[in-house]
């Protein structure tokens, strides 16, 4: 349910607000042991009534397109590119969480959200003990990215 809400809000944001066509979405839930990260990755944790780690990971071409859209033609100094890409990745996950939160269980009441952090030096994230992982690979006309959820509790990942 939570992954589905994030996928829906992603499609709406990309297609309606950014003019990016979503070609396909493949989701996987259940017996996932690790996630392979792409080039630019941000994550947000939730607490309170819902304890999750939400991860968004972009390939180079997708983050480049998003930077172009966010910067709206403003020139970027070469020494600022990495910082801006990290900032855009964080802003995307923050925006998607904000849009999807009202569709979470209990309409998101009692759920706290951490600020986004960047983890670009990680190539994989492995599940720990009884955690569950749900992930979706989103293919667009400008590249790929993934949205993943790690639930630290032993709950039904089909709902995540």
DSSP string, 35-84: EE--SEEEEEEEEET--EEEEEEE-HHHHHHHHHHHHTT----GGGHHHH
Can you give the pLDDT at residue 88? Answer: 93
Say whether pLDDT at 97 is over 80. Answer: yes
- For residue 17, what are its two tokens? 């607000």
- For residue 103, what are its two tokens? 């569709």
Write the pLDDT tens digit of every residue in 53-78: 999 999 999 999 999 999 988 888 98
Most distant CA atoms of the chain, gap in Å: 47
Can you give the pLDDT at residue 47? Answer: 85
Buried b / exposed e along 67-106 (16+ C-beta atoms within 10 A)? bebeeeeeeeeeeeeeebbbbbbbebbbebbebbbeebee
Beta-carbon contacts of 72 under 8 Å, excluding residues fewer than 6 positions away, are: none
pTM, full prediction: 0.86
Say whether pLDDT at 154 is over 60. Answer: no
Can you give the pLDDT at residue 130? Answer: 78
Can you give the pLDDT at residue 106? Answer: 76
Domain 2-159 matching CATH 3.30.450.20: the answer reads no
């Amino acid at each position: 349910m939570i992954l589905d809400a994030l996928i829906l809000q992603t499609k709406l944001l990309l297609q309606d607000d950014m003019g990016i066509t979503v070609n396909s979405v493949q989701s996987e839930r259940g017996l996932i042991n690790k996630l392979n990260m792409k080039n630019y990755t941000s994550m947000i944790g939730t607490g309170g009534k819902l304890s999750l780690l939400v991860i968004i990971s972009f390939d180079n071409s997708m983050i480049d397109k998003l930077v172009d859209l966010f910067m709206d033609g403003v020139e970027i100094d070469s020494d600022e590119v990495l910082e801006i890409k990290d900032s855009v990745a964080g802003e995307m996950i923050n925006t998607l969480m904000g849009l999807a939160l009202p569709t979470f269980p209990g309409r998101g009441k009692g759920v706290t959200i951490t600020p986004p952090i960047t983890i670009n030096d990680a190539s994989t994230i492995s599940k720990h003990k009884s955690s569950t992982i749900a992930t979706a690979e989103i293919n667009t006309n400008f590249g790929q990215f993934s949205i993943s959820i790690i639930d630290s509790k032993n709950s039904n990942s089909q709902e995540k």
